[in-house]
Amino acid sequence: MKKNILQVTLVLIVTVLVASSFSFRKVDLSVYKTTGMKFNYFVPNHDDELLPIVTAPQYSLFLGKTYVGFKEAVGFKESRGDYSSVNPYGYMGKYQFGKETLRMIGVYNADTFMEDPELQEKAFKAYTSRNKWILRRDIKRFKGRFINGVKVTESGILAAAHLAGAGNVKKFLRSYGVEDFEDANGVSIRYYLKKFSGYDTSLIRPDRKAKAL
C-alpha cells in the first residue's frame, strides 16, 4: 500500500515539473488588422439574380479579294507571312526576294531588308508595279481568256510574275501554256495563275522605274 502511494506521488511530482517547464507566450492581437477587408457578400438565391456573363467579342479578319488580301495571300504562300524567313536557296523575307531582284528595286543591304518589315512591303509593291508595267500589254490581251483550263486574270499574272519573273510569264501566255516554268520547289506559273485568280489589283500602278527606296 505504501509502495502504491509512493508511485502516485512520484507521478504527480513529475507531471508538475514537466508542466512548469513550458512558458506560454502572450499573443499580441493588435498586429492583426482587418481594415479595408470586405466581409459582406451577396449570394444570389435565384437565377434571375445572377449577373449575365459578358464575353469579349470575337473578330474574324476577312480580306477577301482586295489588294491587301492579294499581297497577304502571296506572302503566306511564299513564307507563311514570316518576315524573317530565308529559304535554302537564299530567298529572303515574307515575299522571298532574291538579292538580284532587290538590287533592281533599289535595295542593296540584305540585313537592312530583313530587319525592316515596312521595307519588305514597299519592295513587294515596287516589284509588282514594275511587273505590271512590263506585262501591261499581255494583261490587256489575255485577261479573261482560258489557258490550260485556267482563267487568266490580272492578279494571277502578277502573282505568277512574282514567282517566275515577268519574262517567263510572257513566254507562258504567248505560247498558250506550252512554255511553262517551275521553281526549285516544283511550283508552276499555271498553279499561281489559278491560285491567285480574281483579286482586285487595280491599286497597283504600272511603273517601269518603281523603287522600294
Q: What is the pLDDT of residue 3?
A: 54
CB 163 within 8 A of CB 192: yes
Higher pLDDT, 43 or 192: 192
Considering the entire predicted model, what is its pTM?
0.71
Give the tens place of pLDDT for each residue, 75-122.
999 999 999 999 999 999 999 999 999 999 999 999 999 999 999 999
Instruction: Catalogue all structural domains in the chain, each as residue range(s) with its CATH number.
Output: 2-49 (no CATH), 67-195 (1.10.530.10)
DSSP 53-78: PP-PPP-----TTSHHHHHHHHHHHH
Residue 182 carries which DSSP code? B
- In residues, how long is the chain? 213
Q: How confident is the model at residue 23 (pLDDT cuts 50, 70, 90)?
A: very low
Q: What is the pLDDT of residue 56?
A: 56
Measured between alpha carbons, how far is 70 from 186 in angstroms, rounded to an integer? 22
